[in-house]
Each structure stands twice: as C-alpha cells, then as structure tokens.
Structure 1
Amino acid sequence: MREASLASAFRSARWRGCALLFLSRVTKNTFMKDLIRLAIIMAALFGFTFFLINLTGILTLDDIEAALTYVSQIHPVWVFLLVAGLLWVDLLLSIPTMAVSLLAGYFLGWSLAVPAVCTGLMLAGGSGYWLGRRYGLRLLSRITPDPVRLEAMTAIFSRYGIVTLIVCRALPMLPEISCCLAGATRLPISRFLPAYLIGSVPYAIVVTYAGSISSVDNPWPALIMAAVLSLVLWGGGALLLWYRRHRLRNRPVYAGPEPKP
C-alpha cells in the first residue's frame, strides 16, 4: 500500500512538472510575441524615416562625404564633431553607420576616428535607451495592458536582449531598436552599458581601421572588413543564443515538493 501511494505521488509530481514545463514554454512564446510585436512597431517607425530620407534625397552618402571633405579642410576637430553628430542623429534618421565610420577612419585617421565613432555610438545608444525608458512603457501598455505580461516581457529581454545588444551592429536599425527596447523593458543601466559597449567599441575599432587603410582608388580593405565583420557578428550571436538555450534546456525542471514518506 505504501509503495503504491509513493508511486502515485511520484507520477503526480512528474505530471505536475511536465505541466509546469509546458505552461512555461507556452507563456514564454506568448510574451516573446509581444516583444517581437513591439520590435516590429519600432522597426516600422525607424524604417519610415529611412525611406523618407532616401525618397526625398535630403541627406545622401554623397552629401555626407562632401560635408566631411569640406570640414576636413578647416580643422580635424570639426570632422570629429560632425562624425559624432551624424552617428548621434542616426537614432532618428537612419544614417548608414558603417559608411560614416569608414569615412571617419579615412578623414581622421585611426587614432582620432575611434573616439569620434565611439562618442557618436554611445550618444545614440544612450539617447535610445532614455527614450525607451521615458516613453516605451506607454507603447508597451497599448500593446499589452496586462502587468503580468509586461513583467514577463521585461524578464525575457533581460535574458535574451543582452545578446541582441552585443551583435546589434550586424543589421541596420537593429542597434536603435535594441536600445529602445532595453529602455522600454527597464533593463538596468548596469547591464545595458557593458553589453552595448562590447558590441560597439570593437566595431568602431575595426571599421575605422579599415577606413584608415582604404582610399578612393583602393576601397577593398573597407569592403572586405565590412563583409567579415557582419559574418563574425552573426556567427557570434548565433553561438551565444545556442549556448544560452542549451544551458536553459539542461536546467532541472521543478516537479513539485518531495512526497512525504
């Protein structure tokens, strides 16, 4: 009789554990969809400004190169400020970050281009984080007014958003979306800054170096570096995601309290 009751308790605990695992995955998928929906809305907003600028021709890559050529004849400090400013307003205008960084390396040289690009990237990332933290909760509340789902979205971005911040330079508009999402989901600044720095500073170092050794007659170093960097970022991001999923999958599943003897 005792063995039968123990077996029944064990089966009950096992099924309870399976049910908890199933519910956790279902709710996780639901909350992930909410987060993806928010990312799509932000991508649409950034994409609208990008297509508007390209359609109207207000600011083209030729205009940027001409402006950098002009200010480089005055003083390098103006090139520094223009590069940082362009990368800052990239948050709203979707300026080609890699092209500006390559041009910074060409006009400023590697030693000055790195701090100029890092300054612009940090200003853009910090502003995106602040905007997300200031106004993102209102947008989140419109998508899902349920406070439990909002809390779950915050937990999911805290778990997976760090990887996104590290590899965000692999795609246009992804850095802006990632920073705004980090602010909207209340990711602590102590976690946001290191992840964003890890993704941005090496990017600035590599791209500006490629620009510094390139020229109009020989653009191949910049082109090769851009292709290699994109592959490395995507490969590293995929590896990090696989590692996190593998580690979470191998965690023991809670199956309820131990049956009393």
Structure 2
Amino acid sequence: MTLAQLLADYGYLAVFCGTVLEGESILLLAGFAAHQGYLSWPLVVLLALCGGTLGDQLFFWLGRRYNTALLRRLPAGEQRAEQVNRLLLRYDAGVIIGVRFMYGLRVIGPIVIGMSRVPAWRFVCFNLLGAAIWAPLIAGTGFLFGQSLQWLFADLKRYQETALLAAIALLIVGKLLLRWRQRRRSDHIRVDE
C-alpha cells in the first residue's frame, strides 16, 4: 500500500480523530499533505474545526461531571489547574479561545474550565470561535511549509547547474593550489639542502 493510498483511505479520519485529542502535529501534517494534493485543504480545516470543537467539549463535560476526581488522575493536573483557574478569573473568554494554543493545557484546560463556574453556553460559543481560529491557522502553517519547500527546491533546481559548475571550479582551483604549495615546499627543501 502506498502513502497516497493510505492518505486517501485514512487521512481524513486521522485528521478528525487526531484533532479530537491533541491535534497540532496531525493537523500540520494534514496541511502539508493538502499542499501536496493528497488531501483537500478546506476539508482538512472543516474536519479539524469539528474535531477540535468536539474534543474540547468532551473534556469540558468530563470536567463538569467528574470534577476533581478526574484531575487527580492526570499527571501534573492540579498544578496546571491552578494556572488555568487564575487565568479564568480574569480572562475567561480569552482562556477558552486560547487554551488550545497553550502547550500542556490543551486537554487539561477544558477539563478545568468544565470544573469552573463558566456557563456551558459560554464555553460552547468561545470554544467554537477558538477552533475556527486554530484549525485554519495550524493547517495553513503545514500548507505554507509545503509551499516553502516547493520554492526552495524550485530555486535549487534552477541554480543546480551553476552550483555544480562552481563546485567543479572550486575543486580544480583547490587541486591547483595544493600542487603549487607542494612544489613550493619541495623547492624550499631543495634550496635548504
């Protein structure tokens, strides 16, 4: 089975499932695959938007339902919960939108927000807005990475002959310099004798 076939068969499913959980790495790769023509960029963004929103909603409701019992099971959960709670008191809308961009808080953040007094409807609205910013931004970064590689290699191809000629010229000049130096040394040694 080829990579193209794997992407055609499972690429969109991987984007959706990956974005339900964490998502950045899979979404960057999906953006790159979209640039290469293996996946549709609009569909990647749509699936990431849905998966990211659904995942955070799920974690929010888990936090609302299981509260601190769930938090105790997560490594370093209580420390990160304090961070999120401090931020929530001052900037709840910004935290809900931005938690998906904060390293180490992507899963624990919605759980802690679910444990807080933030109304569910407020979380739904700002979570959707955050996902609508996040999905095209991360997928677009992967897409632009693919575009940058294409430009880089296109430029390398254009200058390949020139670079090859320059490398050959440097080798010839280097050999001539080595021979000249060896002759000079041997002449210097003869004079000393």
Give the alignment's TM-score, normalised by structure 1. 0.44
8 Å Cα contact 2:97-2:130 kept in structure 1: yes
Structure 1 stretches (4+) deviating beyond 4 angstroms? 67-70, 137-140, 153-156
Structure ID, larger Rg:
2
The one-letter amino acid paired with 1:87 is T
5+ residue gaps, structure 1: 1-66, 91-96, 141-152, 221-261
In structure 1, the partner of 2:104 is: 173
Letter in 2 for 1:128: F
Which of 18, 41, 50 does residue 110 from structure 1 map onto? 41
CA distance in 2, matches of 1:185, 1:68: 44
In the alignment, what sits opposite 2:6? 71
Matched residue, 2:52 = 121
Q: Deviations over 1:25-79 (max 9, x none)?
A: xxxxxxxxxxxxxxxxxxxxxxxxxxxxxxxxxxxxxxxxxx97552143xxx32
Alignment of 1:1-261 (within 5 A): 71-74=6-9, 78-90=10-22, 97-107=23-33, 108-138=39-69, 157=88, 159-215=90-146, 218=149
Q: CA deviation at 1:171?
A: 2.3
Between the aligned partners of 2:87 and 2:145, the Cα distance in structure 1 is 42
Q: Quote the Cα distance in structure 1 between the aligned partners of 2:3 and 2:65.
A: 34
Overall identity of the aligned pairs, in %: 28
- Which whole-Å CA distance do the structure 2 matches of 1:116 and 1:177 have between them? 22
C-alpha distance in structure 2 between counterparts of 1:156 and 1:213, whole Å = 32
One-letter code of the match for 2:26? V
Conservation of the 8 A alpha-carbon contact between 1:129 and 1:183: yes
Q: CA deviation at 1:191?
A: 0.7
Name the SS of the counterpart of 1:166 in structure 2. helix
Q: Unpaired segments of 5 or more residues in structure 2? A: 34-38, 72-83, 152-193
Distance 2:121 2:54 in 1: 16
Q: Could you tell me how far apart the structure 1 residues matched to 2:54 and 2:90 are?
A: 24
CA RMSD of aligned residues (A): 3.5
Provide closer, same or farther for how the CA distance between residues 123 and 180 of structure 1 changes in structure 2, counting only shifts above 3 A: same
Q: Distance in 2 between matches of 1:173 and 1:154?
A: 15
CA pair 125-131 structure 1, distance change in 2 beyond 3 A = same
State how many pairs are aligned. Answer: 136
Kept in 2: contact 1:130–1:183 (CA 8 A): yes
Conserved? CA contact 2:31–2:142, under 8 Å: yes
